[in-house]
Structure 1
Amino acid sequence: MFKLTSLNLNGIRSAASKGLEAWVAKTRPDCICVQEIKAQAADMQDRFEQLAGLRGYFHFAEKKGYSGVGIYTRHTPSDVIAGYGSPEFDAEGRYLELRFDTPARKLSIVSAYFPSGSSGEERQLAKYRFLAEFHPHLMRSKAEREFILCGDINIAHQQIDLKNWRSNQKNSGFLPDERAWMTKLLHISDEGGGLVDVYRQLQPTATDTAYTWWSNRGQAYANNVGWRLDYHLASPSLAATAKTADVFKAQKFSDHAPLTVDYDFTL
């Protein structure tokens, strides 16, 4: 079995202070994909280069204290690719791909952090530019190799993916164009689709247990007024091996919860 976790840390130093490493040591994932490291290489040195015995690989943002993604793994990758070829968004540290290729198989694990548009129109337009750029990249990857992309997608795809969908229809993260992008990506027969939302494959009707993010305003976490923003998006052959999916809420490391999927394959 291959246990794969995704978690937006909202700052690795903050998450570490809340018991992240002990939890990783206890749950023993093969890989954990992290987003929003909010650190630079110098901050990681001699402190966060490993996590509970897993070796870390990272893509940092140029701007200090901003964004950044990483993957901690038990297995040595055959190649490490930071960025997907975007001058604008690679500078923000949003994409890291570890390849685990063999003569018989091309397989990647990806950690990705999609932009949020919640701060205003300028960032919403940036989010749309990212989606327009990133879709062709995903289609090229799908044509060439098997992969699982883990990350904070910053889109709640369906009404069952957030508590208050009626009042959020004009808010970033649940806008019609964002949701249409996801629908196309997940469409079975569309030539621009073919990826699988692994959590929804396993738990097609889950609502309250599906949320992975809660606003820091009010009592959103206490009342479970959440959104499902964190995903495993996989090529069909790997998605077919998924056995269980779980959102861990018993301990709070950030404003997001870890999403873990057990897959029936090995690297």
Structure 2
Amino acid sequence: MAAIITTVNVNGVRAATGKGLLEWLAATEADIVCLQETRATDAQTRAALAPALRDWHLANAEPGAKGRAGVAILSRQEPSAVRIGFGSAEFDGSGRYIEADFDGSTVASVYVPSGDAGTPRQDEKYRFLAELGAHLGARTGAMVVAGDWNIAHTERDLKAWKANRKSSGFLPEERAWIDELLANGWVDVVRALHPDVDGPYSWWSYRGRAYDNDTGWRIDALYATADIAVSAESARVERAATYAERWSDHAPVTVGFSALPGLTGSRPSMTLVDSRTS
């Protein structure tokens, strides 16, 4: 049946709930919401989201280091199974990957390290990508992996691409990793639906007038196996109308699927909202 999946980096779940996340959760039509960068323990996350948990099931992977990472999946339907990590000795305890089964489908929330070109942090990012790529390459069955990938794949995916050719997030090695993911049969569903759009961007720096000038990056994405991607029929970035109304430096990215095995929900009637005009 039809289902809607949203991904959003909340930039601290406790801060976000005080700025509008709870109100957004109360209003959204999504069936599943993948959260990244919760920056909170399991107890803190559950306390912050308590008003919403009357309507949502929470699967959570708390950060391994205080104040960093943390991912979660909120779902209307209780998962049949939940797994944290992807079999990595280095990363399974870091709070960067969680996946949940819904009978015929698996949905994962991922937060790829941001990296820093020419430093050990970039080496860490490459190690994470290598292990994640191996995990996804070995997966079978219907699956959606949604999250903050911290990679802009093409020049259409960030406004100031010329100035960022040597920056983490737009390095040739990172972009090649996305190329390989796509070559292995995964589909960037937003880009597949809207191949000729600049953006729609999903992250803007808090510095300067990046938001007002729409100087953003499209680093939040949903990748799906081909059997699910073919049913993706609508996508939008839920960009706040004004800078003051933001509850994160990222905006929710929402995709409607006409069919998702094992999930139930209302058939979406959404249209793309270009981040430059929404």
Tell me whether the two structures share a fold, i.e. TM-score over 0.5: yes
Is residue 2:73 matched to residue 1:82?
no
- Map of 1:160 onto structure 2: 156
**Pick aligned residue for 1:150 from 146, 153, 162:** 146
- Map of 2:33 onto structure 1: 32
d(CA) in 1 for partners of 2:77, 2:48? 20
d(CA) in 2 for partners of 1:51, 1:236? 32
User: Aligned to 1:213, what secondary structure does the other structure show?
Assistant: coil
> AA paired with 1:6?
T
Cα RMSD for the two superposed structures = 1.4
Is residue 2:189 matched to residue 1:198?
yes
**CA offsets 1:97-130 (integer angstroms, 9 cap, x no match):** 00012xxx3x101000001113861110100111
Confirm or deny: 8 A CA contact 1:50 1:56 kept in the other structure.
no
Is residue 2:215 matched to residue 1:225?
yes
d(CA) in 2 for partners of 1:146, 1:238? 6
**Pick aligned residue for 1:97 from 96, 99, 104:** 99
Q: Which runs of 5+ in 1 are unaligned?
A: 188-192
> AA paired with 1:170?
K
User: What is the total number of aligned residue pairs between the two structures?
Assistant: 255
d(CA) in 2 for partners of 1:264, 1:19? 29
What is the 5 A alignment of 1:64-143? 64-101=66-103, 105=104, 107-118=105-116, 121-141=119-139
Confirm or deny: 8 A CA contact 1:50 1:72 kept in the other structure.
no
- Map of 2:267 onto structure 1: none
Runs of 4+ in structure 1 deviating by more than 4 angstroms, as ranges, are none
User: Aligned to 2:91, what secondary structure does the other structure show?
Assistant: helix
Cα 1:46–1:175 change in 2 (3 A) is closer
Cα 1:148–1:50 change in 2 (3 A) is farther
Confirm or deny: 8 A CA contact 2:187 2:225 kept in the other structure.
yes
d(CA) in 1 for partners of 2:238, 2:35? 15
> AA paired with 1:207?
D
d(CA) in 2 for partners of 1:50, 1:177? 42
Confirm or deny: 8 A CA contact 2:117 2:167 kept in the other structure.
no
**Residue 28 (structure 1) shift:** 2.2
Is residue 2:42 matched to residue 1:41?
yes
Q: Which runs of 5+ in 2 are unaligned?
A: 264-278
**Residue 29 (structure 1) shift:** 0.8
> AA paired with 1:262?
G
TM-score by length of 1: 0.92
TM-score by length of 2: 0.88
User: Aligned to 1:222, what secondary structure does the other structure show?
Assistant: coil
